[in-house]
Amino acid sequence: MSKSKGYAALAPKAPLAPYSFERREPREHDVVIDIKYCGVCHSDIHQTRDEWSDYQDESIFPMVPGHEIAGVVSAVGSKVTKHKVGDKVGVGCFVDSCRTCTECQRGLEQYCSVQTIWTYNGRDKEGNPTYGGYSDRIVVDENYVLHMPNNLPLDACAPLLCAGITLYSPLRQWEAGPGKKVAIVGMGGLGHMGVKLAHALGAEVTVLSQSLKKQADGKRLGADHFYATSGPETFTKLAGSFDLIINTVSAKMNWNEYLSLLKVDGTLVVVGLPEKDVPIAAFSLTAKRSRLAGSQIGGIAETQEMLDFCSKHGVACDIEVVPIQKINEAYERVLKSDVRYRFVIDMASLAKD
Ligand code: NAP
Ligand code: ZN
Ligand code: ZN
């Protein structure tokens, strides 16, 4: 075991504070990563505040969050072939899975039917808690480590590992591309990547945001249209417009209203994870043979495909880099939708504590 330092919530809803813990000694297939940057996902806030207790068995505290990890390989185990010391690498929302079930065999490790081992707030195969990327280093099996784009800044690519893949996967699954009308609901960390990726895939992109405050940014990121959901005519004007709507909103909202914006056979994909159930009227689905679907991040192969796509198309995230000492302030600003569009922690700041 070796010492690692980071920031943790010591108890549910506690502010994050400096915390020291142990990482495992690298095994034959392990990669040791010096973490340079870690994105701040709204899921980090939900989990450190234990907001998903209705849907999860347990939350493990102290909790070191962080699953948008970008760093540099500092050591490798004797049998590692996929990565070498000095490589720019990334780790997303999970660090292992059973590797043998049908889902793992299909490259859908995030839906492993045995156990997806989450990067934090999970337990490894020995039953020990996992600790995430708000920390100086991490030890991960080489098969769950991604190659980061070499032509783009590492800090702006960190959020691709959750925000990027969470939008890329449903955009590909439901075939966003030329001739398709796609709406992205909520332009936060996930949503702004949805705009960039849907645009890069060639779709006609509409943003549905609470207000018009982010309109100029939306257009700059690649949106063709931008509407405020608070506008009195938005839902009547856009009724029956979209092939695909991806809802990234973290709060409970009226999904029936969004279903009314689909064309016949259109799909509303939920990726935002509010803490409470959302009621759906049967009529909202039957009226246009609509589909209501969900999607959770993406598998390792698809995440690498997304990173390579971003590298080719010059797509990275719009970020605000913060020292780790400002993490609690950053959380409050995320909750107020006051982030343009993802906070990324500069891990060099850990040395200042
Ligand atoms: P975020 O940066 O806070 O963005 C959420 C956006 O939703 C906000 O910027 C805001 O956009 C809109 N919004 C917030 N509160 C709202 C409300 N009360 N009513 C209507 N709109 C509201 O969060 P994020 O990091 O993108 O994450 C979004 C959600 O996705 C979270 O629940 C997170 O846990 C979940 N998530 C899911 C997956 C998955 O695999 N399915 C992966 C990562 C995250 P506007 O200002 O444009 O309205
Ligand atoms: Zn996330
Ligand atoms: Zn599996």
Could you read off the pLDDT of 222-262 as tens digits, one per residue?
999 999 999 989 999 999 999 999 999 999 999 999 999 99
In percent, the amount of the chain with pLDDT more than 90 equals: 97
Taking the C-alpha atoms of residue 287 and residue 185, their distance in angstroms, rounded to an integer, is 21
Checking if the pLDDT of 107 tops 90, the result is yes
Q: How far is the CA of 328 from the centre of ligand 2 (A)?
A: 17
In this structure, what token pair is assigned to residue 275? 């803490």
Q: Which atom of ligand 1 is nearest to the CA of 187?
A: 47
The rounded distance, in Å, linking the Cα atoms of 164 and 68 is 10
List phi, psi (to 5°) of 192. -65, -30
Give the integer Cα–Cα distance in Å for 203 and 99: 34
Spatial separation of the C-alpha atoms in residues 99 and 255, rounded to whole Å: 35
Closest ligand to C-alpha of residue 101 is 3
How far is it, in rounded angstroms, from Cα 51 to Cα 59?
10
Which residues sit with Cβ closer than 5 angstroms to ligand 2, an ion?
41, 43, 162
Residues having CB within 6 Å of any atom of ligand 1: 41-43, 46, 162, 166, 186-191, 209-210, 214, 248-251, 253, 271-273, 295-297, 334, 337, 339
Q: Which residues fall inside 5 Å of ion ligand 3, going by CB?
A: 97-98, 101, 104, 112, 114
Nearest to 69 by CA among 133, 6, 144: 133
State both tokens at 41: 């996902």
pTM of the model: 0.98
Nearest CA to ligand 1 atom 17: 251
Atom 8 of ligand 1, nearest CA residue: 188
- 309 Cα: distance to centroid of ligand 1 (angstroms): 24
Element (H, E) at 89: strand 88-91
Model pLDDT for residues 282-332, shown as the tens digit of each residue:
999 999 999 999 999 999 999 999 999 999 999 999 999 999 999 999 999
